[in-house]
Amino acid sequence: MDYNKYFLLDEETVKAYTLERTDYFGDIDVSELSAKEISDGNINHIFRLEAKDKTLIVKQSGAEIRTSGRPLDRKRSLIESEILSIQRELCGEVIPKVFDYNKTISVIIMEDVSDFKSLRLELQKKRTFKGFSEEIAKYLADSLLPTTDLVLDRHKKKELVKEFINIELCDITEDLVLTEPYYNYKNRNIYDEELNDFVEQNLYKNEYLKANISELRNSFMNNAQALLHGDLHSGSIFINDSGIRVFDPEFGFYGPMGYDIGNVIGNLVFPYVVDKVQSKQGSNSDSQFTQWLGRTIEEIFDKTFDNMRGNYDSLVEFPLYKERSFKNKYIKDIESDTLGYAGTEIIRRTIGDSKVIEVTEIEDLNTKNLVWKVLIKIGINLILNRSIYHNGSEVMTDIDSIIDDLIKEETNL
């Protein structure tokens, strides 16, 4: 088979390709290998291969969006492969192992993590996981700080910044996350007409908020601080009782560390708010789950930065950077960025066109609109007050206050 030009694999050709590129399955005939396409998105083709009780994942980047035919830069698969390999060295088995990458046809052969399930879907089932906050906090600290030029040789870091320029996918983030929720120039925001005035006053006409968004947008585009995953929502984290796996870093690039950390925190706020609002209304809630999730959000914020301080002390060697006042400000700035980007993630997933199931699957329209208002207010608060918080407990106290205040306000209407 000719692999010197791009073509799309299918359930037959992927078997011969995999046996040619890796000896993972040993010396077997192609007839002994089964393959099933398990793609669930618009831009990638994913196959699960199995033989002799062993499995692999083969992921190929498409050259266009399936639904629209819009062309896509296949460089994202190279970025994904390289980031997985770098983070595997930094974080160990939390990152799936890459066995092979073919640049010509944009194919990654990687470890199968199907024993782990989507964190988003598990939280929808109100499952709790002991040790999750410790594991994700360690991943964040271990994957981010070592890729900065506080730790890396500055020349090496500049080479990596160049290598991981990700124009097309960063463009998506700059629009969907950091522009359109506040300046709806493409008319892609989606929300119930009863929220028109609320969105208009709180987002589109909120000049102070838009000034703060401009700061976060500018930092995202110009602060090449660390190598990011770039799309670290709860669908990119898989989990079971033994631990977590993190993958799909095709949006990766060099940017502000707080963007990754904020994405994790922001996506955990959705199930927390939904369950909290429903508990206040006396329907379909699980107080034990809500308490665990609120505590988990607190712990992720606190433990990530505790780990980062420890990593800073052990990894940073340049004398100027070891000055305590610089270290404290450096980490404080990341904390502020984290909460700001958590806010932008919450708002964009609420009113933008890439929503999460937590906000779309609420059946009662009044409850849904209330939840959306709460989320928007929480997002605004995190953006505007991102520099005032010292720990996760303070953050969650204000989130709870916003929930309580809006429920009272709606009740009194």
Mean pLDDT, the chain cut into blocks of 10 residues (413 residues total) = 87 96 95 93 90 96 78 92 98 98 97 97 97 99 99 98 96 97 97 98 99 99 99 97 97 98 99 93 77 98 99 98 98 99 99 95 95 99 99 98 94 71
What is the per-residue pLDDT across 239-248, written as a single tens digit (0 to 9) for each?
999 999 999 9
3 state SS of 240: strand
What is the per-residue pLDDT across 153-195, written as a single tens digit (0 to 9) for each?
999 999 999 999 999 999 999 999 999 999 999 999 999 999 9
Alpha carbon 105 to its chain centroid, in Å, reads: 26
Last residue of a domain, one of 111, 137, 163: 111
d(CA 371, CA 256): 29
Q: Both 405 and 347 in a single domain?
A: yes
Angle at which helices 207-222 and 365-384 cross, to 10°: 70
b or e along 35-63 (b: 16 or more beta carbons within 10 Å of the residue's beta carbon)? beeeeeeebbbebbbebeeebbbbbbbbe
The answer as to whether 217 is a domain residue is yes
Alpha carbon 207 to its chain centroid, in Å, reads: 28
Going by C-beta distance under 8 Å and a sequence separation of 6 or more, which residues neighbour residue 94?
A: 87, 135, 139, 243, 244, 245, 246
The answer as to whether 4 is a domain residue is no
- 224 touches 259 (CB < 8 A): no
Q: Both 83 and 98 in a single domain?
A: yes
* Structural domain of 302: 117-411
At 56, which CATH number? Answer: 3.30.200.20
The answer as to whether 6 is a domain residue is no
Domain count, the chain: 2
State both tokens at 38.
């398990």
Last residue of a domain, one of 67, 87, 111: 111
Q: Both 101 and 150 in a single domain?
A: no
The answer as to whether 20 is a domain residue is yes
d(CA 349, CA 233): 10
**What is the maximum span of the chain, computed from C-alpha positions, in angstroms?**
72
